[in-house]
Each structure stands twice: as C-alpha cells, then as structure tokens.
Amino acid sequence: MNIEQVDHVGIRVRDRKRALEFYRHFGFELIHETSFDEVAIIRNAAGVEINLIINANNPEGDHNILMDIETKYPGHTHIALRVSSIIETIHCLKDAGIEITQGPVMFGQDGHVSVFVRDPDRNTLELRGRAEDTDKIDGLVMYDPKG
C-alpha cells in the first residue's frame, strides 16, 4: 500500500449554515451535499477538502470532549492547515472576529509559527505558516521541545 496524501478530513458539526459561514472565512466553498447522509463537502482554491458531518448532538455545545475536559480520550484533536502568511492570517482572523485560542507559537526551531482557533462547535484548527518577520508578531511564544 502506498499512501500518497491526505484526501480529506471529516469534521462533525451541529449546524450546517453556521459551519459553512465559519469555514468560508478560510476560503472554503460548498461543492457538494450528499443525498444519503448529512454531509456537506467543502473545498478551497488549493484543493483542500473538508467533509462537514452534520450530526453532532451535544446540546450544550460548550466543550469538545477530546480537548476541553480533563479525561483525555483517544481521537483526532485538530487539523493543521498550512497558510501562505502567518502574519496575514492573524490579521484576517482579527478582522473576521475569530478568536485565537492559542498562539502565535513556535514549537522548537523548525521555522514555523502556529495559531489555533475553534470553529463554532469547538473543533480545533491549527493554522501554520513559515516564521516571517517574527519581530512583527505580537505575543509570539517560543517553546523549546527539549525542555
């Protein structure tokens, strides 16, 4: 078997309209809805595809069971999306009123900066770009993986 690349990612959401509005901020557009299940397939101009699985039934909606509770369950915790400019991304998030929940942060000296955001259902997205003009990135934290 030869895995060539990630084909798409499925993200469970509660509200179709709300999720589509949020992901449009990241350049995703609706390309197809399945007739056999509540799935909205979205894609951006670079061909990155996300399947929005519209069947979340957490009535509280105020936490993500994989990220926001003390007991840690196995599962996927986030999707990391590469951005062309981390500085531009930070500005776009602020302009759209999307809260950065962690970051900007550099994990070691790999030359990248990440910011983390949550969608309306508390799913975590990491937006990661090359470290550019780090002196212009307010609040940048650098973590040394060696302690």
Of 54, 28, 21, nearest to 43 by C-alpha is: 28
Tens-digit pLDDT string for the chain (147 aa): 988 999 999 999 999 999 999 999 999 999 999 888 899 999 999 999 999 999 888 766 677 777 777 877 788 889 999 999 999 999 999 999 999 999 999 988 888 999 999 999 999 999 999 988 888 898 898 887 666
Backbone angles phi, psi at 39, to 5 degrees: -130, 130
Identify each DSSP E strand in the chain by its residue range.
Answer: 9-13, 29-33, 39-43, 49-54, 78-82, 100-107, 112-118, 124-130, 141-143
The sheet carrying 9-13 orders its strands as 9-13, 49-54, 39-43, 29-33
**Cα 103 to Cα 138: distance, rounded to the nearest angstrom:** 10
R_g of the chain, CA atoms, integer Å: 16
- What is the pTM assigned to this prediction? 0.88
Q: Specify whether the CB–CB gap between 66 and 75 falls below 8 A.
A: yes
The domains found in the chain, sorted by start residue, are: 1-57 (3.30.720), 76-147 (3.10.180.10)
Q: What is the largest CA-CA distance in the chain?
A: 50
